[in-house]
Structure 1
């Protein structure tokens, strides 16, 4: 099965204590969240951090779509609980629309 990669970014609130808490949650992500990620067609996910900026790499299979993931998340109470918790640490980036946290990056160069 072929895979595709997406690259996204998000900002955290610029507070060392909150950033440390956010990192701690991601060292022990709830099993229901891991299952939801995998069930959506995401085969690998990595999140990197510098300061209050987060960078995510998502590798997905051909069953994945952002609309499908959004529907699955909206109908999963545990995912909603996780997202509400994470929003305490995250902040809307200036170019984001209402309700957007993670924004897709545009590829501008590949070697």
Structure 2
């Protein structure tokens, strides 16, 4: 993990915790699935500020079965999918931007708040 952020962030501590915990939990589940499939697994987290904006990027290993609907990852697994919706809701609350991408066994979440 690499982070260069100040104590006075443009987002509440509780929203930042919800965002990070959901993103990292999703990354962990994907990395575990990769490991169980006999593949390498990793999670990389980067955070920094520029001006009054907070940028977060979480990249992790993933299997090629990631499905998207309207640019957002979706799942049909019971009890899953709420984390992504929470991430998007927090980003919208702060007028931020969120992007999700999966390519070549690597999933990337980018958030700007």
TM-score, normalization by structure 1: 0.44
Which of the two has greater helix per residue? 1
Which of the two has greater strand per residue? 2
TM-score, normalization by structure 2: 0.44
